A and B are shown apart, each in its own frame.
Chain A
Amino acid sequence: SQQGEEDPQALSIQEGENATMNCSYKTSINNLQWYRQNSGRGLVHLILIRSNEREKHSGRLRVTLDTSKKSSSLLITASRAADTASYFCATDQSDDYKLSFGAGTTVTVRA
C-alpha cells in the first residue's frame, strides 16, 4: 500500500540550481530509499538511508531522514538537464524489501 507523500508534485528549475523534494510517511520504517524514473522507463535506485541514520551523501545527492517527523528530503545539487525525471521515495517497514512508494515528484531541469 502507498504510504508516502511527496512534495512538491512538480518542480521546474534552471540547470545549475539545486532541487529539493520532500517525502513524508506514516508508519515506522527500517529504511527509506529514493529512486529515479525517466518517462516510461523502469526505476533506478539512487540512495538508501536506514532508520538510524540522519544524513547520507552520494555524489550530487544528499538525503536526510527525520524519523521523529517521519520525513525525508532529497537534494540534488548543481542540477543538469539529465536529472529531468520523476523521483520517488519508498519505505521499507520491516526489511522485507516490500516497498511502499510515494506519489513522486516530477523534476524538470531547463537548459
Chain B
Amino acid sequence: GAVVSQHPSWVICKSGTSVKIECRSLDFQATTMFWYRQFPKQSLMLMATSNEGSKATYEQGVEKDKFLINHASLTLSTLTVTSAHPEDSSFYICSARDQRAENTGELFFGEGSRLTVL
C-alpha cells in the first residue's frame, strides 16, 4: 500500500522557537494532504487541508499564522509550528490522498510527530 513518512517522529524544543514537521508521500503523488492534531487519549482533530500549489485551508479555530503549512510539491507538505508554547505540545499526524485511489476514499497516514515544548 501507499506509504506516508513523517519526520521527525519526535521533537523537543524550547518555548518561543519554531518547529517544522515534514510529511512525504513516498511512492505516490498526493495533491491533497491533511494535518491533524491529537491530544493524549483523545481523537484526531483536523487542523487544515494542504493542497499542492495553493494555500492551505484551515479549520475553524486553527491559527494560520501559528501553524504554517506549505505544500510545494506533490510529495511533500510541511507544518511549521511558529513561536511554539507548551500548549502546542501534541501529537501531529498527516495524511495523504493518493491520486491513483481517487474512488476508494482511503487516506494514508504518517506515523505522527510528537512535539514537546518546554
| Chain A residues engaging chain B, CB cutoff 8 angstroms | 1-2, 30-31, 33, 35, 40-45, 48, 50, 88, 92, 95, 97-104, 106
Q: How many A-B residue pairs have CB under 8 A?
A: 63
Q: Which B residue sits closest to A31, measured CB to CB?
A: B105
Binding site for A on B (CB under 8 A): 4, 6, 32, 34, 36, 41-46, 49, 59-60, 91, 93, 95, 97, 104-112, 114
- Could you tell me the distance in whole angstroms from the C-beta of B23 to the nearest C-beta in chain A? 11
Check A43/B46 contact, CB under 8 A, given A1-B59, A31-B105, A97-B105. Answer: no
Tell me whether B112 and A97 are in contact (CB under 8 A): no
Q: Is the interface of B mostly helix, strand, loop or mixed?
A: strand
Chain B min CB distance to A46 (Å) = 10
Q: Is the CB of B43 within 8 A of A104?
A: yes
Contact partner of B44 among A31, A44, A101, CB < 8 A? A101
Chain B residues contacting A95 (CB-CB under 8 Å) are 105
Query: Does B105 lie within 8 Å of A43, measured CB to CB?
Result: no
